[in-house]
Amino acid sequence: MRLVWFRNDLRLADNPALRSCCGNAGADEEPVAALFVISPTQWRQHKMAPIRQRFILAQVDALGIELAALGIELHLLRVETFAEVPAALASLCRELGVTRLYANQAIELDEQRRDGAVTAALAEQEVSCHWFNGCCVLPPGRVLTGSREMFKVFTPFSRAWLKALDEDGFVIHRAPAPRGQPLPWQPLAERGFVDEALGETTPDPRWPVGEAEALRRLHAFLDQGVLDYGETRDFPAMAGTSVLSPYLAAGIISPRQCVAALQQRLGGRPQSKAQPGFVWLNELIWREFYRHLLVLVPSLSMNRPFKPETAALPWSWDPDAFAAWCEGRTGYPIVDAAMRCLNATGWMHNRLRMIVASFLTKDLHIHWRLGEDYFMSRLIDGDLAANNGGWQWAAGTGADAAPYFRVFNPTTQGQRFDPQGDFIRTWVSELADLPATYVHQPHDWLRLKGRQCYPAPMVDHAVARVRAIEMFRDLEKK
């Protein structure tokens, strides 16, 4: 018996572990089974958002149905923490008579340690483990500097990544062929794997699961939005992005599938900003950059800054100020609209993520780790590599060529990227009737109208900006 272990790769297509496990169906092939592990306590420790948890469990049900149609049974294990996985998996392998385990490699440190313990436990009963790159276009470690080190700045990494991709190419793995008669599938909730400890499990209707839905979104974006992406991606009131991030984070679609579809749409792979489609491809490369960093700099999985010296920065841990930011009560309309949108929907536009992260770290001077954890606890697309990379970029502690002197002005950011205030009025009900002229700086207008429905700005941005820069300059003097 061969066993394929699904993790953040909940798909049939372009799944190298699944494809290698199944091989070519035939009479001489070993039987194949599949596995997914539910770890509620570990998920909570990793701050997994309830909406993301529901999304993943709904996709497991969808995957179970698809595997059952191929004659492959998806087994479920429920263990509270990763520490329990090796023994539970070894027991399942003995029960099923498994001789080989197949899985796509994890990039997070806790998951890598878990997989090492699994390999050791299964070796004791002569079960071999086979690991594959299923989460990146190019495997971590492939794109390095001339001195064989990880790039510390994105732009040279991007150039090297494009060169390496030209040299290596890539293959899209097809979904496996049927391996037997279709099997029945009983949903997770009916099988006792989902209970009160996991909370609400009904998926959000705004985020349908399934590989077909992920591909539909991808091709709709490539047909309607990719050519204008560079001009529309920063405006949250517009549908200018692919909205694929939850599907990529759960592995319902792979980055290779995205690159392949882009190439097919354009008749080739763009190589520079001057070429159509490159801006979106560059976003996929950003995703690769942060994933490679997480593997090659393990301390990033341990709440440590990429630049070690910035650990000495005098960050604030002010709980009241942090709560106001979380709840969208800062007095800066674009920040408040973004946070209220996140809390209500589990998703936030990328430009807004940069604005609110800059505000928390550079205006309120609150530690980026609090913001990173809060995002993970709310985002349907919560992904450690991208989330950590984005927060450290905003805070000035990460891999970036322009660290501390980048401080977003929340007012001018709102004026530039939500000029008519459409996004703000959607999410900040107190400002729904304000004219566009006043929506970004509403306080004088509200005062004239005798209304006290919206909080005053928490901080003076100009003063807070100076203090943020001083924090880093003082660090350089030490």
Q: Copy the structure tokens of residue 430.
A: 């107190």
Distance separating alpha carbons of residues 296 and 281, to the nearest angstrom: 23
SS (H, E, C) 21-43: HHCCCCCCCCCEEEEEEECHHHH
Query: Catalytic pick from 185, 391, 393, 427?
Result: 391
Query: Catalytic pick from 5, 43, 161, 315?
Result: 315
Active site annotation includes 317: no
Active site annotation includes 133: no
Residue 321, classed as helix, strand or coil, is helix
Query: Catalytic pick from 283, 343, 430, 445?
Result: 283
Residues 16, 21, 22, 26: is their CA dihedral positive or negative? positive
Active site annotation includes 368: yes
Active site annotation includes 315: yes
**Angle between helix 384-395 and 368-378 (nearest 10):** 150
Distance separating alpha carbons of residues 436 and 79, to the nearest angstrom: 53
Among candidate residues 62, 116, 58, 119, the one with its CA nearest the CA of residue 90: 119
Query: Catalytic pick from 368, 387, 409, 427?
Result: 368
Q: 103 — phi, psi (to 5°)?
A: -160, 155
Among candidate residues 167, 175, 173, 174, the one with its CA nearest the CA of residue 269: 167
Active site annotation includes 283: yes
Q: Kindly list the distances between the CA atom of residue 220 and the CA atoms of 32, 59, 240, 450, in Å, as whole numbers in the listed order.
A: 35, 21, 12, 47
Whether 328 and 336 have beta carbons less than 8 Å apart is answered as yes
User: Which residues lie closer than 8 Å to 109 by C-beta, 6 or more apart?
Assistant: 298, 301, 302
Distance separating alpha carbons of residues 22 and 371, to the nearest angstrom: 42
Q: 404 — phi, psi (to 5°)?
A: -95, -25
**Strand boundaries in 13-121, DSSP class E:** 32-38, 73-78, 100-104
Query: Catalytic pick from 286, 325, 393, 427?
Result: 286
Known catalytic residues are: 283, 286, 315, 350, 368, 391
